[in-house]
Amino acid sequence: MSIYYLIELLASFFAVAIVLTLHEFAHAFVAYKCGDPTPKFNGRLTLNPLAHFDILGLILFALAGFGWAKPVPINPNNFNHYKRGLALTAVAGVVMNYVTAFLFCPLFYLVLYYVNIPIVGLQYFLEMFTLYLFLYSVSFCVFNLIPLPPLDGWRVVQALNRRRGKVYRFFERYGYVILIVLIGIHFLVNFMSNYEMLRLASRILSYADILGYIMNYVVRAFQWPITALWGLVF
């Protein structure tokens, strides 16, 4: 195992910690500002990463490149305006991620083009750390827009749809399982593609990799305005 691989793992871990924390803090802050003290009472109105980590979501983030944090508990009945408060709280995390992606992108360019640290490994760590901050911010934003529980996209569905029909109840009950299956397929496709004897099976399974299509194409679409704009500066 090379030193550069360990540096990438360390940079990835710190980047994940920051991206997840900012995402969940945004939910807690907006809910609190909309009149609900529940996040504060539960210790979620904080920038301490330990308050927001979900073990399974963190492991999946490390293995598959995306996951989730521990959902912020809210009581919509406390909102000053029920529907508006629910909607604003639902989108707060993804908005935070996209805004921070816009800020992390030039930080990466600054480190890449203008920072030169002669200490072995430190320059590489800073480059990978700032790159992961940008990439994870965008991927976490897109991933959380998927309308399946426990993701933010499902919260938006809850905020906009007060009717609870059969389709809604089905996804409410099985959405978590569907999400795990989608992540599992995507992970298997990527894992098998690394081995020559499994690449044919990987290509066949890739047709069912719905999550892969979403993350590849939608993430690129979300990244393009940011990189295009900052590319004019750098």
Catalytic choice (24, 127, 172, 196): 24
pLDDT for residue 1: 60
> Cα(147)–Cα(158) distance, rounded to whole angstroms?
10
3-state DSSP helix/strand/coil % of the chain, to nearest 5 = 75, 0, 25
Instruction: Check pLDDT > 90 for residue 78.
Output: yes
Give per-residue pLDDT as tens, 116-138. 888 878 999 999 999 999 999 99
The mean per-residue pLDDT over the stretch 158-178 comes to: 85
What is the per-residue pLDDT across 87-112, written as a single tens digit (0 to 9) for each?
899 999 999 999 999 999 999 999 99
Predicted confidence at residue 65, as pLDDT, reads: 61
pLDDT attached to residue 166: 86
Per-residue confidence band for 7, with pLDDT thresholds at 50, 70 and 90: very high
Residue 156's pLDDT is 87
Q: Is 24 a catalytic residue?
A: yes
pLDDT in tens, 23-58: 999 999 999 999 999 999 999 999 998 898 877 777
- Residues 113-134 as b/e (b if ≥16 CB within 10 A, e otherwise) read eeeeeeeeeeebbbbbbbbbbb
pLDDT score for 194 = 83
Q: Report pLDDT digits (tens) over 192-211.
A: 888 888 888 888 888 999 99
For the whole model, what pTM was predicted? Answer: 0.89
Mean pLDDT of 143-158: 89
